Structure 1
Amino acid sequence: GFRSSDRLELEASGVSSFNIDDLKAGDTVFEISGGSHVLGGIEIANGRFNVSGASSIDLEGYASDISIEASGASHVNLANFSVSNATVTISGASLVTVNASGTIDGNVSGASRLTYLGDPALTIEMSGDSTVDNR
């Protein structure tokens, strides 16, 4: 697999698809759009996930802190991706699953759903027929 302590940026757009196998990196940014799909296993310092346009991410592994921005009927499955703290902005009928041990902060709107695992402290603003549930 790929190993680096440097910052890493991954971008997928226009109905792209890629599998990540055993990635270890420093702070990592994922820009996923246009019906693209990303899956695999990663270990990163901190992560930022910007997912839009009916795209999806399904990852396992871990990070310290993450931020997720999901919009436009996107899916972010991080059930098997352990983090300390997560900040989420979820809109436009998107679905996000987070496994956090510390805190989850953010906003869920527009008929979106946040599912969380673990027992984090929650500070979530909800609007527009959205739901938050524990699994």
Structure 2
Amino acid sequence: MKKLFTMLALIIISLQTFAQEKQTRTVAVFDKVNIRSAITAFIRQGSSTSVEIETDVANKDKIITEVKNGELIIRRDDQWKDWWKNNDNNKIIAYITVKDLKSLRVSGASIAKGQTAFNTNGNFELEVSGASRLSLDLTAKQVNAEFSGASHCDIKLNASEADIEVSGASHLDISGKTDRQELEVSGASHFKGNDFVSKKATIEASGASHAEVAVSEDVVVNSSGASHVDYHGSPSRAVTNASGSSKVRKVQ
């Protein structure tokens, strides 16, 4: 009987240790967000800024939330050696509300999901790397975006100008529209942008990359290596240059 009570006590302690707990963090005002080290973040646009962290009781003090130069950084403590083991007992969820988001960085196998559409009158910086995932609905004036590693992203974007770089084995599925697009794809990356309509576009493709673009007025494509570029639409001006075993094709 004594052994039974001991076992039950150990089970209860274990359950308490791994129980998920939500904690509000007090941080300074921020307009940029940086998510690192296998953290899942749900981000929304609201009238104020706030941060909540949900994780098991044993690990709640190992989560760092800090603001530097207006950038909210959420990461695991550097001493947490097993942070990369993304199991249920190691899972961290961040709930973030921001008034005017100007920059978003996601790295280290993290996941970021926009729970609302984001609107900003200025420029927007976006960076996703290291096998991270992102879903986002964004309206901005000018967007500079970089996707690297084996990142996988699904984005709806409306912008006056969009400068996009996709590298490594990354995959970007994008929809929306822009007046001008500068696109660079390399490595084994895939840019699926046949639902992202540009008035004018300049495409640079290399390696074994694949790009699908939609252009209404003017397109310039330079492809090399074993890259493959398909462009949709009927632009009045189309300049294409393909070298090596690369291909450029107009899709009806």
Q: Which residue of 2 aligns with 1:58?
A: 173
Q: Which of 114, 117, 123 is 1:7 aligned to?
A: 123
- Amino acid of the structure 1 residue aligned with 2:177: Y
Aligned to 1:102, the other structure's residue is in SS state: strand
User: What is the CA distance between 1:27 and its match in structure 2?
Assistant: 0.4
CA-based RMSD of the aligned residues comes to 0.9
Q: Which residue of 2 aligns with 1:123?
A: 239
Q: Which residue of 1 aligns with 2:215?
A: 100
Distance 2:229 2:218 in 1: 14
User: Does 1:29 pair with 2:160?
Assistant: no
User: What is the CA distance between 1:40 and its match in structure 2?
Assistant: 2.4
Runs of 4+ in 1 over 2 A off after TM superposition: none
Q: Give the % identical residues.
A: 37
Give structure 1 stretches of 5+ with no counterpart.
Answer: none
Aligned to 1:50, the other structure's residue is in SS state: strand
Counting only pairs closer than 5 Å after superposition, residues 36-75 of structure 1 correspond to structure 2 as 36-75=151-190
- Amino acid of the structure 2 residue aligned with 1:25: A
Higher helix share: 2
**C-alpha offsets along residues 13-34 of structure 1, whole Å, 9 cap, x if unaligned?**
100110013x111100111000
Aligned to 1:14, the other structure's residue is in SS state: coil
TM-score (norm 2): 0.52
Aligned to 2:120, the other structure's residue is in SS state: coil
User: What is the CA distance between 1:106 and its match in structure 2?
Assistant: 3.1
- Amino acid of the structure 1 residue aligned with 2:202: T
Distance 1:71 1:83 in 2: 20
User: What is the CA distance between 1:127 and its match in structure 2?
Assistant: 0.3
Higher strand share: 1
Q: Which of 79, 83, 89 is 2:198 aligned to?
A: 83
